[in-house]
């Protein structure tokens, strides 16, 4: 601060002035008692008293008016200045003027907010004296005390609330009521690259507050989006922990690609540990357990979800964002005293019940077996030959059992003994659900601490989840930790650090991979012990325990089998460690130019151990060589090719299997961004944003099959060399390792222009480069771009005259987006295999050309148009967002048949086209808002229809009729087709169809690529999705309910028919209406049960497998589901404070309680769930008690 | 001032971007997976193990030939019935001409890829043997294609008969255009590759035990005898046959069909033995996905008792009996030659791909090619010697008490041949003998078709009902198999029908 002289008067001049002043003294009297400006007054005094004034012009305003009176002495004159708070000090002939210093005052008060109609103290509100570092914070009672300069200004602020400024007057008590800033989350769009003012944002996006969508008891955050965001479809194909739901934003964009949205957490793209396409999610294979990228996130850490949908919104993600982006922002520390929040959820799952399924009870089942027996299926000789067997096989085996010592049989072969034996089982009616499921207990504890000052904010959290398992075969533990720190080092420099980690330990039933078997029209999975599919597929006449309570074994793969025993002896243990370190630095180079850097490292390691103990059925099956017939039929024995006439032998004499699979991911992300903002004349807002980024991800997969591991003999392997020989001769590997490398670079420029935030124009240009597109520099780099604009109509003058529409923004986008397809044939792809020859000396290593070089390989692209508007009516009481979009996908990768002259008949090439179109509506409203409560509602609705317009690949019948459907030109991206059912054969009740030649026949060749005779049923993916959310509050009680719905798709019913059945099979009740005798074909479409002779006459043709894929076995996929009901009670303040807490609440939540509507044909089959065995289980009904406390 | 500062900043930024951009290209050079790069002699050699058409032609060639009669079974498979009815074979799965076309061109792609790497190598010496193999495999696959999909070589019309695309460069775009050119052009290219490749071959370069799955010098010369026989360059047939075996002596390599040890083998063992790589008669084997081994007995159009009587059990020029053993009944008659090697989808699967080991070239064929060429060249004694060598390993007196070859009774002479074939033209009689011997020897191996097209033999297929007797005349266009429809996308014209 510079001290200015009033005038630059020298000593001599002053003397002269004094003379002049004295001379003019008489005139002074005239001025008495008038108001003049300080400037004039001082000037007069200078002349009168020959002094000069020294003061700080910034402190003392010369224009101030002052009432002057008659005074003669200088002191008296100067004392008048006190009236305008000016003090003086005379130093020689100089008078130093100063603003009067009043003593600082102590201000006390209380900060409150209005919660549900009454004021509630606010803790941790920051109170700062404006322009200083002086400040404090409210305590647990909302009180504060601050020493502040008189007439200073106090600033009351807290994140999420409107900041208030109050000038200190005479009052020393200031009670402040802060109002929640409802717009704070809506006003900023978090793209992951930058936070954009919603008024300037031109793309289509949805913001969901973490606390709003959180569903207590649901452990995977991705499942919480169901029904809450228009255009985001969430299909729970499996409910097992760690498996991802099938998520689509605006439907599919690629025919062969993954079609999964991009997950971004705190600005960093979350790489998948393993790449699993949306279709693979429904296989039930162990790989699906690590399919959810967000399974390691604690739902309590999530501040918000931002879903970016159109080309403009996703522009910054360029060529990865064709399928939309979900940006998760985790919580940050907030300024204030430490805030502790604790959540505990206690859940229980309800066991499934046979009431909802359409399965025969044991009496019906036994009478069906009786028919099978009569039809020659369970004959005495057969029982030994059959690898699997239940009650009948057991009976025949007992009859065959002769004890030489006492001359008795296991069972006497008399009609009476047999009837008694069978009747015992007919009455059992085993409830497998009861045996294999439990009303389990899951607990989840989450603790978060937030603290901070203006300079540094910290957030720490930890959570623990323990799920004892819905079935007796699974359980999960998960630990997550999160530490986030933000430092504002100076006004210009800010640094942020995030450490996120998760540890997961999970057990699941042991399983091997499923394989598609087009030959027999089914999916095979050896040794499947999935409890859910076991319960619905296994005869209720079988018993888990005998009369003495011991486990009772039946026969599977020629070896003894009991599901409870097997689940204990054949397990899958999964461990996962996932750690992310992230740092960001931002620096304001100039007030309007900001540079930011973001870097992240992630390391994820998963390990799956499939443990098959010695006495498991799976291991015993490899040892089943009881007699010559078994030896000949047991496929798990070894046939020596060097000795073609020899009998198959056992190659696993001891031990079981120890098979491990490991997946590692190491990824790095680096990003530099530069942002420049300028507003010209308060009118033209210009913003330019540039970024450059690098991505690096290495993935490793390795597996090892350990043969003969002896778990209960000290963990020593016993390896029969023949088992290795068998593997090698079969052209398989017993261990393996594979790496994939992802290298990615991108640069982007985005520019926004806005005229008074009324008219906004936005454009983005981005270049992406990936190593997956080979060496060609042209193909490797892809530019994507888009232009968009928005018009904030509410800012127009003509809108001021009405009061209905509070807010209205109209948006439009057009742009090119892209995504990396699934092809890697940009350069020659060679694969090394073993020659498929029979004898070891002849086998050699062969390099095969897997794919010829495709120089033309490029990204999959689409042009997208989006038009939408956001509106609010009646002062935000009703909000409405509508978006319409049209997408033209081209250069999509698909198999293409070529002349084969180049050496590859079917190539992956960019040639296919697909269009999709849709509309999305979000309607929100506060239907009632009163002092004691309110009713809020939100409806989301989305319709999406896509069509493949150019596709040369010709799928086989099998690919189109199986439950995942297939792509075909002129149909949706995955269309479900059926073999056309033509009634039953009048002689034997076997079904007829239109086959691939267009003839009516019982023989359809499923591997045929002539698909024109198939019947189109509908898309596999729903075309309509949405949800209805309602929340009612009355005083301290809140009741909310979420209903989700979807429609427009078709579902393949679970295959239930077979040309032969065993006494293990559980059969659906439809069988009661089956064809029994000639003439029945007029009344029923349920085929007969064949007798052995008729089956023989079918000549290897299997019409029953085809029947499962006919138009009879189709149901409509539409459903309405009550997804969640929650009842919360906020404890009264008096109770809360007694416990030292600031708030306490108790909630009761029912997740997934009811299916309100579904096609009757489904008969208990969950319309979302794919019962594929393995580790897949449906989403259970779950009841949760949730406690929340804040301190 | 402000502006210049800004400019400098922008310049710095741009340089940074450019700097990173140049670094970028290195960064993006990283391969996306562990794919093998073709950059060493070992890898080129391993690639060439895939340069053999891994497809089986026997199914359609046997059905096309006169080795198949209507067994009147109730069911029939298109891959068997359509060729028998001289129709184009539908489908493109294993055992169809389309599948063979794809496999042959896939083999050619491997050869071309290997040659590209070799030609780009700074030092070609370590690649010498591979270059030879690549050239010979390329010649072989093209020869088989031109034999199936173009008219048989005819010196008069070869220069105008459409050939098949002779591919010498790896394909790098999705759809490349190709030309058929002429049969003469294709033969020139085959000859060029073959003659250049044979001297470079090195039998020591192959894995021990697996050599028979590659072109050894013997196999390559053996292939040359077939090629020149088609090209009617008989002197070269004899020359290559003599180069194929030490001092031209083929006898030790023939299958000991009439030996006591061989005849005593169990049928399952015989099945396995026939296509084993350690049998000297198998000059070149290939593993091919095929249903032939499991279906050859069950196909409706195939070998039956009528043919057995006519072709095998009938009188032959040696006056002895053929020592081949036949099994089965009318519906399932066969002689054990093929055993299926079933490659499962995973170790416990019941589904997978059935493989057959197919003998592509045998010592017997080389012997017959030399015999026929010698007959054409007027070296009748040489022909007779080969025929008698062959007969000595096949003929028996009878299979009850004298299951052995008796030179005194069985030796084929000029007189015997002339008398047996009721002719005075010794050349014609010897060729007839060769063709008859070959027909018996190569039953179930598809070789008969080569003789049918080369000698323009007429084929008559009589349905069991005796209605609509099908005749394939000497110049019937259906002797040329149809090119796959998809080839039109590369600008290839189909064969006339």
Whether residue B252 has pLDDT greater than 60? yes
Strands (E), B363-489: 395-396, 459-461, 470-472
* B203 in contact with chain A, both atoms CB, cutoff 8 A: no
Cβ-defined contact of A902 to B170 (cutoff 8 Å):
yes
d(CA A513, CA A524): 9
**Residue of B14, B16, B20, B32 best to disrupt the A interface, most CBs of A under 10 A:** B32
Q: How far apart are the first and last CA of chain B?
A: 84
Tokens at residue B457, please? 């033999």
Q: Tell the residue number behind the tokens 């083929």, with chain if given.
A: B250
Share of chain A above pLDDT 70, in %: 95
Rounded (10°) angle between helices A415-426 and A391-399: 150
**pLDDT for residue A159:** 67
**pLDDT for residue A407:** 77
d(CA A139, CA A130): 20
**pLDDT for residue A616:** 94
Q: Find the farthest-apart pair of alpha carbons in chain B and give their distance in angstroms, rounded.
A: 117
**pLDDT for residue A13:** 45
Whether residue A16 has pLDDT greater than 60? no
Decide which of A805 and A520 is more confident. Answer: A805
**Residue of A745, A901, A1003 best to disrupt the B interface, most CBs of B under 10 A:** A901
- Residues in B closer than 8 angstroms to A517, CB to CB, are 351
Band (pLDDT 50/70/90 cuts) for residue A182 is low
Q: Note the pLDDT tens digit of each residue in A211-260.
A: 888 888 888 888 999 889 999 999 888 888 888 888 989 988 888 888 88
> What is the DSSP-derived secondary structure letter of residue B309?
I
ipTM for the complex shown: 0.91
Decide which of A382 and A156 is more confident. Answer: A156
Sign of the alpha-carbon dihedral angle for A222, A224, A229, A230: positive
> Which three-class secondary structure state does DSSP give residue A612?
strand
Decide which of B148 and A393 is more confident. Answer: B148
Distance between B342 CA and the closest CA of chain A, angstroms: 8
d(CA A742, CA A273): 12
What is chain B's mean pLDDT, rounded?
A: 91
Whether residue A186 has pLDDT greater than 60? no
**A117-126, A1161-1170, B135-144 — which one is most confidently predicted on average?**
B135-144
**pLDDT for residue B13:** 46
Hey, which residues does A96 pair with through a beta bridge? Answer: A54, A89
**pLDDT for residue B416:** 93
| Chain A, nearest residue to B75 by Cα | A1099
> Which three-class secondary structure state does DSSP give residue A167?
strand
Band (pLDDT 50/70/90 cuts) for residue A761 is very high
**pLDDT for residue B293:** 93
Q: Note the pLDDT tens digit of each residue in A842-893.
A: 999 999 999 999 888 888 999 999 999 999 998 888 999 999 999 999 999 9
Q: Note the pLDDT tens digit of each residue in A1081-1093.
A: 888 888 888 777 7
Q: Find the farthest-apart pair of alpha carbons in chain A and give their distance in angstroms, rounded.
A: 154
Q: Say if residues A638 and A730 touch (Cβ distance below 8 Å).
A: no
Tokens at residue A261, please? 């949205």
Average pLDDT estimate for A647-655: 92
Q: Note the pLDDT tens digit of each residue in A76-134.
A: 777 777 777 777 888 878 888 877 766 778 888 888 877 655 677 777 788 888 777 77
Whether residue B6 has pLDDT greater than 60? no
**pLDDT for residue B24:** 55
Q: Note the pLDDT tens digit of each residue in B40-84.
A: 999 999 999 999 999 999 999 999 999 999 998 877 788 999 999
* B22 in contact with chain A, both atoms CB, cutoff 8 A: no
Decide which of A1091 and A618 is more confident. Answer: A618
Whether residue B114 has pLDDT greater than 90? yes
* B467 in contact with chain A, both atoms CB, cutoff 8 A: no
Distance between A901 CA and the closest CA of chain B, angstroms: 5
Q: Say if residues B334 and B308 touch (Cβ distance below 8 Å).
A: no
Distance between B384 CA and the closest CA of chain A, angstroms: 36
Q: Note the pLDDT tens digit of each residue in A552-599.
A: 999 898 999 999 999 999 999 999 999 999 999 999 998 889 999 999
Cβ-defined contact of B32 to A838 (cutoff 8 Å):
no
**Nearest in space to A1163 (alpha carbons), one of A1022, A1045, A1044, A1067:** A1067
Whether residue A151 has pLDDT greater than 80? no
**Residue of B3, B46, B52, B165 best to disrupt the A interface, most CBs of A under 10 A:** B46
Whether residue A183 has pLDDT greater than 80? no
**pLDDT for residue A19:** 42
Burial B128-155 (b: 16+ CB within 10 A, else e): bbbbbbbbbbbbbbbbbbbbbbbbbbee
Tokens at residue A858, please? 């490029």
Band (pLDDT 50/70/90 cuts) for residue A382 is low
**pLDDT for residue A360:** 85
Decide which of B22 and A913 is more confident. Answer: A913
Decide which of B224 and A64 is more confident. Answer: B224
Average pLDDT estimate for A185-213: 83
Cβ-defined contact of B355 to A674 (cutoff 8 Å):
no
Q: Alpha-carbon dihedral of residues A34, A39, A40, A44, nearest 10 degrees?
A: 110
Band (pLDDT 50/70/90 cuts) for residue A33 is low
Whether residue B424 has pLDDT greater than 60? yes
* B167 in contact with chain A, both atoms CB, cutoff 8 A: yes
**pLDDT for residue A872:** 92
**pLDDT for residue A812:** 95
Q: What angle (nearest 5°) sits at the alpha carbon of residue A1174, between those of residues A1170 and A1176?
A: 40
**Residue of B28, B77, B108 best to disrupt the A interface, most CBs of A under 10 A:** B28
Average pLDDT estimate for A270-293: 83
Whether residue B148 has pLDDT greater than 80? yes
Cβ-defined contact of B167 to A769 (cutoff 8 Å):
no
Q: Lowest mean pLDDT of A404-413, B267-276, B332-341, name the range.
A: A404-413
- Residues in B closer than 8 angstroms to A907, CB to CB, are 174
> H-type helices in B208-328, by residue range?
217-231, 234-244, 260-263, 267-274, 292-295, 305-307
Tokens at residue A518, please? 């087009």
- Residues in A closer than 8 angstroms to B108, CB to CB, are 903
**pLDDT for residue A25:** 42
pTM of the model: 0.83
Average pLDDT estimate for B17-29: 61
Q: Note the pLDDT tens digit of each residue in B356-382.
A: 999 999 999 999 999 999 999 999 999
């Amino acid at each position: 601060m510079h001290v200015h002289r009033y005038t630059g008067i020298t000593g001599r001049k002053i003397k002269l002035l004094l003379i002049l002043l004295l001379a003019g003294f008489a005139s002074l009297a005239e001025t008495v008692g008038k108001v003049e400006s300080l400037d004039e007054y001082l000037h007069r005094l200078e002349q009168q008293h020959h002094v000069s004034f020294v003061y700080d012009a910034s402190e003392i305003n010369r224009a101030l008016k002052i009432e002057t009176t008659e005074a003669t002495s200088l002191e008296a004159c100067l004392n008048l200045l006190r009236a305008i708070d000016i003090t003086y000090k005379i130093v020689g002939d100089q008078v130093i003027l100063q603003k009067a210093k009043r003593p600082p005052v102590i201000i006390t008060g209380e900060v409150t907010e209005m919660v549900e109609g009454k004021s509630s103290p606010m803790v941790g509100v920051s109170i700062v004296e404006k322009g200083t570092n002086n400040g404090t914070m409210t305590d647990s009672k909302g009180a504060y005390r601050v020493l502040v300069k008189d007439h200073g200004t106090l600033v009351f602020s807290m994140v999420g609330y409107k900041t208030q400024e109050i000038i200190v007057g005479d009052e020393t008590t200031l009670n402040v009521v802060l109002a929640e800033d409802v717009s704070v989350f809506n006003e900023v769009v978090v793209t992951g690259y930058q936070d954009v003012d919603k008024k300037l944002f031109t793309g289509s996006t949805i913001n969901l507050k973490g606390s709003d969508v959180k569903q207590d008891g649901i452990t995977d955050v991705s499942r919480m989006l169901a029904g809450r965001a228009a255009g985001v479809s969430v299909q729970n194909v499996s409910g097992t922990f760690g498996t991802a739901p099938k998520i689509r934003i605006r439907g599919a964009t690629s025919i062969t690609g993954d079609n999964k949205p991009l997950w971004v957490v705190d600005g960093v793209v979350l790489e998948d540990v393993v790449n699993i396409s949306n279709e693979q999610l429904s296989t039930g294979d162990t790989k699906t357990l690590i399919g959810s990228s967000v399974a390691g996130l604690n739902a309590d850490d999530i501040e918000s979800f931002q879903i970016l949908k159109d080309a403009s919104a996703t522009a910054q993600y360029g060529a990865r964002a064709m399928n939309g982006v979900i940006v998760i922002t985790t919580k940050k520390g907030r300024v204030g005293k430490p805030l502790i929040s604790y959540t505990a959820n206690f859940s229980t799952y309800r066991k499934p019940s046979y009431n909802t399924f359409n399965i025969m009870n044991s009496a019906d089942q036994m009478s069906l077996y009786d028919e099978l027996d009569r039809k020659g299926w369970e004959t005495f000789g057969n029982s030994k030959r059959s690898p699997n067997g239940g009650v009948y096989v057991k009976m025949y085996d007992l009859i065959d059992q002769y004890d030489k010592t006492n001359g008795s049989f296991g069972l006497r072969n008399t009609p009476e003994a047999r009837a008694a034996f069978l009747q015992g089982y007919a009455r059992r009616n085993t409830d497998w659900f009861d045996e294999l499921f439990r009303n389990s207990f899951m607990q989840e504890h989450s603790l978060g601490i937030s603290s901070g000052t203006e300079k540094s904010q910290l957030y720490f959290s930890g959570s623990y989840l323990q799920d004892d398992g819905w079935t007796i075969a699974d359980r999960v533990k998960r630990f997550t930790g999160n530490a986030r720190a933000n430092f504002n080092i100076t006004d210009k420099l800010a640094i942020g650090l995030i450490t996120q980690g998760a540890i997961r330990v999970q057990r699941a039933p042991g399983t091997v991979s499923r394989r598609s078997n087009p030959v027999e029209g089914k999916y095979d999975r050896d040794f499947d012990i999935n409890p859910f599919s076991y319960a619905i597929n296994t005869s209720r006449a079988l018993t888990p325990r005998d009369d003495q309570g011991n486990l009772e074994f039946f026969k599977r793969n020629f070896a003894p089998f009991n599901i409870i025993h097997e689940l204990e002896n054949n397990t899958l243990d999964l461990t996962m460690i996932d750690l992310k370190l992230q740092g960001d630095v931002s620096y304001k180079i100039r007030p309007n130019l900001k540079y930011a850097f973001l870097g992240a490292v992630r390391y994820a390691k998963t390990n799956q151990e499939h443990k098959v103990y010695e006495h498991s059925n799976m291991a015993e099956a490899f040892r089943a060589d009881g007699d010559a017939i078994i030896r000949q039929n047991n496929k798990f024995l070894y046939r020596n090719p060097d000795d073609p006439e020899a009998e198959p032998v056992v190659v696993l004499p001891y031990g079981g299997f120890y098979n491990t699979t490991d997946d590692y991911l190491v990824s790095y992300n680096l990003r530099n961004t530069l942002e420049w903002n300028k507003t010209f004349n308060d009118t033209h807002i210009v913003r330019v944003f540039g970024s450059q980024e690098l991505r690096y991800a290495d993935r490793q997969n390795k597996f090892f099959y350990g043969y003969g591991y002896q778990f209960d003999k000290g963990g020593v392997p016993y390896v029969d060399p023949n088992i290795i020989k068998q593997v090698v001769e079969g052209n398989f590997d017993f261990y393996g390792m594979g790496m994939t490398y992802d290298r990615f670079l991108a640069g982007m420029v985005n520019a926004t222009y806005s005229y008074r935030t009324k008219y906004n124009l936005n454009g983005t240009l981005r270049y992406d480069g990936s190593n997956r597109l080979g060496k060609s520099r042209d193909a490797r780099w892809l530019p994507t771009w888009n232009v968009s604009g928005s018009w904030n109509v509410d800012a127009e003058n003509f809108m001021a005259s009405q009061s209905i529409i509070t807010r209205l923004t109209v948006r439009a986008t057009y742009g090119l987006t892209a995504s990396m397809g699934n092809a890697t044939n940009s350069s020659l792809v060679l694969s090394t295999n073993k020659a498929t020859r029979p004898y070891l000396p002849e086998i050699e290593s062969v390099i095969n050309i897997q794919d010829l070089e495709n120089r033309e390989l490029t990204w999959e692209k689409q042009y997208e148009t989006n038009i939408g508007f956001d509106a609010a009516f009646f002062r935000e009481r009703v909000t409405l967002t509508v978006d319409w979009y049209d997408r033209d996908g081209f250069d999509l990768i698909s198999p293409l048949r070529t002349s084969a002259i180049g050496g590859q008949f079917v190539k992956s090439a960019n040639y296919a086209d697909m269009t999709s179109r849709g509309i999305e509506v979000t309607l929100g409203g506060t239907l009632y808002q009163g002092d004691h409560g309110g009713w809020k509602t939100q409806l989301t609705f989305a319709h999406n229809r896509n069509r493949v317009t150019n596709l040369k690949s010709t799928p086989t019948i099998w690919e189109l009729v199986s439950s995942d459907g297939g792509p075909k030109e002129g149909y949706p991206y995955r269309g479900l087709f059926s073999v056309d059912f033509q009634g039953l054969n009048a002689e034997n009740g076997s079904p007829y169809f239109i086959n691939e030649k267009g003839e009516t026949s019982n023989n359809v060749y499923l591997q045929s690529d002539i698909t024109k005779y198939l019947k189109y049923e509908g898309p596999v993916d729903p075309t309509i999705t949405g949800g209805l959310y309602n929340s009612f509050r009355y005083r301290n009680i809140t009741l909310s309910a979420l209903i989700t719905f979807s429609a427009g798709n078709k579902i393949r019913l679970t295959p239930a028919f077979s040309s032969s059945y065993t006494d293990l099979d559980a059969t659906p009740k439809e069988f009661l209406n089956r064809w029994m005798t000639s003439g029945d074909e007029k009344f029923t479409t349920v085929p007969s049960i064949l007798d052995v002779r008729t089956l023989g006459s079918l000549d290897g043709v299997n019409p029953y497998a085809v029947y499962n894929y006919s138009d009879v076995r189709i149901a409509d996929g539409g459903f309405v589901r009550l997804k969640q009901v929650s009842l919360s009670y906020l404890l009264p303040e008096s109770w809360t404070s007694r416990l030292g807490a600031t708030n306490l609440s108790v909630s009761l939540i029912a997740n997934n309680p009811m299916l309100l509507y579904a096609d009757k044909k489904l008969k208990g089959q969950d319309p979302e769930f794919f019962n594929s065995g393995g580790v897949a289980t449906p989403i259970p009904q779950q009841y949760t008690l949730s406690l929340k406390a804040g301190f | 001032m402000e502006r210049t500062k800004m400019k400098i900043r922008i310049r710095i930024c741009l340089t940074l971007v450019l700097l990173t951009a140049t670094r970028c290209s290195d960064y993006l050079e990283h391969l996306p997976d562990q794919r093998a790069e073709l950059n060493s002699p070992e890898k080129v050699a391993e690639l060439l193990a895939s340069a053999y058409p891994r497809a089986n032609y026997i199914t359609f060639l046997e059905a096309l030939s006169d080795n198949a009669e209507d067994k009147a079974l109730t069911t029939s498979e298109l891959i068997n019935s359509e060729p028998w009815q001289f129709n184009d074979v539908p489908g493109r799965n294993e055992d169809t001409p389309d599948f063979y076309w794809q496999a042959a061109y896939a083999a050619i792609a491997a050869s071309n890829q290997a040659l590209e790497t070799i030609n780009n190598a700074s030092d070609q010496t370590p690649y010498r043997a591979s270059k030879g193999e690549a050239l010979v495999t390329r010649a072989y696959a093209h020869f088989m294609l031109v034999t199936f999909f173009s008219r048989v070589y005819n010196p008069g019309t070869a220069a105008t008969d459409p050939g098949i695309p002779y591919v010498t460069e790896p394909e790098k775009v999705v759809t490349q255009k190709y030309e058929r050119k002429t049969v003469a052009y294709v033969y020139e290219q085959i000859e060029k590759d073959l003659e250049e490749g044979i001297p470079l071959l090195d039998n020591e370069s192959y894995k021990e035990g697996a050599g028979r799955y590659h072109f050894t010098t013997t196999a390559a010369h053996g292939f040359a005898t077939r090629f020149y026989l088609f090209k009617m360059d008989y002197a070269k047939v004899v020359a290559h046959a003599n180069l194929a075996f030490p001092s031209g002596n083929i006898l030790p390599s023939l299958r000991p069909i009439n030996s006591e040890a061989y005849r005593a083998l169990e049928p399952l063992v015989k099945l396995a033995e026939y296509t084993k790589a350690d049998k000297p008669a198998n000059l070149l084997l290939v593993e091919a996905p095929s249903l032939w081994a499991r279906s050859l007995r069950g196909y409706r159009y195939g070998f039956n008792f009528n043919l057995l009587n006519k072709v095998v059990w009938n009188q032959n020029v040696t006056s002895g009996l053929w020592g081949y053993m036949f099994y089965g009944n009318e519906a399932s008659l066969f002689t054990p030659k093929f055993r299926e090697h079933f490659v499962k989808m995973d170790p416990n699967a019941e589904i997978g791909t059935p493989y057959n080991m197919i003998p592509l070239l045998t010592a017997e064929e080389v012997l017959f090619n030399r015999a026929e060429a010698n007959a054409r060249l007027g070296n009748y004694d040489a022909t007779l010697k080969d025929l008698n060598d062959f007969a000595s390993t096949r003929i028996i007196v009878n299979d009850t008490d004298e299951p052995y070859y008796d030179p005194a009774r069985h030796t084929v002479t000029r007189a015997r041949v002339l008398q047996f074939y009721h002719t005075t033209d010794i050349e014609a009689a010897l060729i007839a003998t060769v063709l008859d011997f070959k027909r018996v020897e190569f039953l179930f191996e598809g070789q008969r078709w080569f003789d049918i097209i080369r000698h323009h033999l007429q084929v008559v297929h009589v349905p069991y009902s005796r209605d609509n007797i099908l005749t394939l005349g000497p110049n019937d266009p259906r002797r040329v198999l149809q090119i796959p429809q998809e080839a039109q996308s590369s600008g290839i014209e189909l064969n006339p029908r």
